Structure 1
Amino acid sequence: MASRSHRRPLRKRRTALTLTVAAAAVGLLVSLVIALLPGGGADTVRTAAEPATGARPTAPRATHATSPALKPSKTPKPSEASKASRAPASAAPTRSARPAPAATRPSAPRPVSGAAPLAGRIKPGTTYNGVATHYDAGDGDGACLYGPSPDLMVAAMNHADYETSRACGAYVLVRAANGASVTVRITNECPLPCAPGQLDLSKEAFAKLAGLSAGRIPITWSLQSPALSQTLSIRYKTGSSSHWCGIQALSHRNPLARLEVRTGGGWTRLTRTDYNYFLSPGGTGCGGPLRLTDIYGEQLTVDGIAIRPDTVQPTRVQFTRR
């Protein structure tokens, strides 16, 4: 039988073990309670379980405090918003009313000086090289069908630059190598073998540059917009009526680019022939208002021109000098 001295220590160990188990149970219970509390979690449990002084540094934890409800931002009233972004009335650009075009000159805005958006092969501000020859111009009439010329300072344009009569009526300054010059009006076409750049001058015009015996001389030439005293005129072709008509413009300062007639739907452009008339095969617009446009884009409106074949009818308008 064991002695009493041996039994007492055993009781003491059992008591100590019981106290240790009880302490561990209490600690576990406390941990569970803390974990179930609001705001508790893995971080909270870990913090409670770790010793107060540890060798391992802990990263700072984000707090989970509930953020207060955000207040809606104040939306400015329409009047306040417009005040903030609107410039003063005096600074705002005002759109000026466009003046009504003149009855005889409803012209589009003029292009910059020297620009000719409707020009063909012959353009202003350009100097062309070629040769000059001469021919007997008679009364100055030719392929352009202008009729007798008031003077014989006329020329025939080579076929390429004649360009289906687009050169008709153009004024050209011609210069010779010796410094002599003369201004001529294109009234005729010089057929092949006239080369591009070549001008066939009337004998009277050629004589201003050199003797007729020279026959052929090198020249330079350029388009002009001369001072003229007369206004533009209109002529209807032989056989014209309200069912068919051909219309021609005469004495225009600048080369003519378009001729239009007024119809119910607006303006109708007529086709130009190589003999310098604009045709309306079905009679559209014959005897009505006309609109003429030069190579610079300037437009002139002519009214009151009756169908009078082979009669030159003056107008009161002329293209601007360039």
Structure 2
Amino acid sequence: MLTEPQKDPAVATSSHRRSRPERGSRRVPVVTVVAVAAVALVVSLVMAFRPDGGARTGAEGGAAAVAPVAGAGASASPAASATTGPSATPSLSPSPKPSTASPGATARETATTAAGAGAAAASPGGRRAAPVARAASGPAPAAGRIRPGTAYQGVATSYDIGDGDGACSYGPTSDVMTAAMNTADYETAKACGAYVLVRAGNGASVTVRITNECPAPCEAGQLDLSRQAFARLAALSAGRIPVTWSLLSPSTSDTVSIRYKTGSTQYWCGIQAIGHRNPLALLEVRTSAGWTRLARTGYNYFLSEQGAGCGGPIRLTDIYGERLTVEGIAVRANAVQGTTVQFARH
């Protein structure tokens, strides 16, 4: 009877590091082992002589070892997403999926994904589309001191508006529902043309258009109403009453008009916009250098001191950021020239 050979202690210790026990395992023929080794050698030689040197590992290779082959498809696997770095760009998926921004995604990518989520779901094939530009609404990015959706506390007084002309330089008017804005909120004519809803403590209200400035002693928050407008809130004998007021974007069938100031030529001009639904934030003219912003004066004209852009296209921007471009307006001093455009209602 053959006795079982005694196992070497070193081999026994090594067997404990294997993933599965050797007990009951079949012995592999030597020929098979040699064949497998030969195949492994051939594969390693092929990989070594590839133009790209094969898959990189370690600090040099990093995630490149699992980079998908070009043309393999646009959707990334969960494993690939987990290795996305800060410079990664969002991948396109063949069907809409919930946004799962990886920890390494940049803030810009995350914001773009959130903004375009609705567009991605409705786009053909479910591919993520670029964010769609929408009409400005809500907070006004170009507003000054007077902002939409805000109620201001102040007082109302009254004055005789005469022919209706005022610091905004709109000229005489038959519209008596107007007001002068205190200097702080007038803000170098930014309030000119704004429609304001004024409410008194007794519940009465009136809508007025800002056409003038009320200097000191008018204080911040104060409105100096036409006598006709004040009478809608209280008796003129009241003199001074507490009010709240807020900006409006009213319904109107009017369109914007443009007027060049008296003395305007192609070498110097002042430009004014009239009849805009929302307060005007910017007026630009097109020059050889592109759109050039003109400085606004306290009397509500935008000046081109060197004549740049006088008689050319004009671009108007309201406090909500909407832009209107007007062309074909000749330099005709003190002539009101109509257009076909108007800002959107908010």
> How many Å separate the matches in 1 of 2:166 and 2:305?
24
Match of 1:48 in 2: none
Match of 1:216 in 2: 240
In structure 1, what residue type is equivalent to 2:144? G
Q: CA RMSD in A?
A: 3.0
Structure 1 residue 226 displacement after superposition: 0.7
Structure 1 residue 81 displacement after superposition: 3.5
> How many Å separate the matches in 2 of 1:183 and 1:308?
33
Match of 1:60 in 2: 10
Match of 1:11 in 2: none
**8 Å CA contact 2:261, 2:333 repeated in 1:** yes
> How many Å separate the matches in 2 of 1:58 and 1:310?
111
The two structures have a TM-score, normalised by structure 1, of 0.72
Structure 1 residue 85 displacement after superposition: 4.2
In structure 2, what residue type is equivalent to 1:110? A
Stretches of structure 1 lacking an aligned partner (at least 5 in a row): 1-51, 99-107
Structure 1 residue 60 displacement after superposition: 1.7
| Residue 301 in structure 1 maps to residue 325 in structure 2 | yes
Structure 1 residue 304 displacement after superposition: 0.7
Match of 1:178 in 2: 202
Match of 1:43 in 2: none
Match of 2:298 in 1: 274
**Cα pair distance change 1:225/1:82, threshold 3 Å:** same
User: What is the correspondence of 1:114-193 to structure 2 with a 5 Å cutoff?
Assistant: 114-193=138-217
Kindly, what percent of the aligned residue pairs are identical? 64
Aligned length: 254
User: What is the correspondence of 1:238-277 to structure 2 with a 5 Å cutoff?
Assistant: 238-277=262-301
Structure 1 residue 140 displacement after superposition: 1.3
Q: Secondary structure at the match of 1:60?
A: helix
> How many Å separate the matches in 2 of 1:151 and 1:218?
24
> How many Å separate the matches in 2 of 1:131 and 1:89?
59
**8 Å CA contact 2:74, 2:94 repeated in 1:** no
Structure showing greater radius of gyration is 1
**Cα pair distance change 1:188/1:97, threshold 3 Å:** closer
Match of 2:127 in 1: 93
Stretches of structure 2 lacking an aligned partner (at least 5 in a row): 15-32, 48-53, 56-67, 76-91, 96-125
CA distances 1:54-105 after superposition (whole Å, capped 9, x unpaired):
xxx9742489xx99464436789xxx9445444499547275899xxxxxxx
Match of 2:260 in 1: 236
Match of 1:104 in 2: none
> How many Å separate the matches in 2 of 1:215 and 1:149?
24
> How many Å separate the matches in 2 of 1:308 and 1:83?
62
Structure with higher RCO (Cα < 8 A, 6+ apart):
1
Structure 1 residue 292 displacement after superposition: 0.3
**Of 132, 135, 138, the match for 1:110:** 135
Q: Secondary structure at the match of 2:10?
A: coil
**Cα pair distance change 1:94/1:178, threshold 3 Å:** closer
In structure 2, what residue type is equivalent to 1:224? L
**8 Å CA contact 1:139, 1:152 repeated in 2:** no
**8 Å CA contact 2:326, 2:339 repeated in 1:** yes
CA distances 1:235-278 after superposition (whole Å, capped 9, x unpaired):
00011000000000001000000000011221001000011000
In structure 2, what residue type is equivalent to 1:93? R
**Of 206, 225, 233, the match for 2:249:** 225
Match of 1:315 in 2: 339
**Cα pair distance change 1:262/1:135, threshold 3 Å:** same
**8 Å CA contact 1:170, 1:223 repeated in 2:** yes
**8 Å CA contact 1:125, 1:222 repeated in 2:** yes
> How many Å separate the matches in 1 of 2:72 and 2:234?
78
| Residue 201 in structure 1 maps to residue 233 in structure 2 | no
